[in-house]
Structure formats: C-alpha cells, structure tokens
A = this chain, B = another copy of it.
C-alpha cells in the first residue's frame, strides 16, 4: 500500500488550511512508503531553511514509522539513540514529522512540517495526516 498523489494533495491542502488558521507559514513535505518525496509546498514567506527540514522530518517519520519527536527523546546525550541524526544523510528528530496511515491503519507515507515552533509544526502535521 502506498500513498497516491491525490491523497498527498488532500493532506497538503488540510495542512495549509491549519497553518493559516494558526497564522503560520509552513514548508510541507509528503513522502511515500519508500520515503521518497511525493509532494511539497512552501507557503509564501516561509523560512527557506525549513525546506530541507520539512523533507527530513517526513523521511525520518517514515524511516522509523513514528512521530519524529519520539526519536528526539531517545537521541539526547546519554540516550539510547544518541546522535542518530548522523544517519541517512541527516535526520531531523524534533516534532513535525508524522506517519500517514490509510483507513486500515497501514502506514502509507509520512508528512513533515517546518516553519514555526515545534508545537505548531506538529499540530499542522497532525492536521494533514488525519485528513485522509
């Protein structure tokens, strides 16, 4: 099972709507089950550096099938996954990456959002992921 472009577009649309509703400007990336980019959108005026971060968040969420923030808790100094960010050409392990599931609960891709506080990034990613 893999995400379709039309599903990715529906997710981006919901994420943009949520982003506007909380007055933020986001970079939004969707990857498929193979962790490869399907769709991307940078809202006008969004941080340029968040482009790469949003894509890395989406990939990180699919690489390990969990929210990026959970990995970040384990990658702290002394933690079990300390400095895991060095793998896979760079992970981003703070919140804003969320797996995307289909109606049967299977993971079909992931969304990564960057452009505001990590709380806002995560809220927009959740709004996107729950749109399908």
Using CB atoms and an 8 Å cutoff, list the residues of chain A in contact with chain B.
4-5, 9, 32-44, 47-53, 56, 59-60, 62-65, 72, 75-78, 80-94, 117-118
Contacts and interface: CB of A to CB of B under 8 A. Distances in A.
Contact of A49 (B5, B40, B63, B83): B63
B60 A49 contact: yes
A35 B36 contact: yes
A50 B92 CA distance: 15
Given A76-B77, A84-B94, A34 B53 contact: no
A28 B75 CA distance: 21
A79 B48 CA distance: 21
Given A39-B40, A40-B37, A40-B40, A118 B86 contact: no
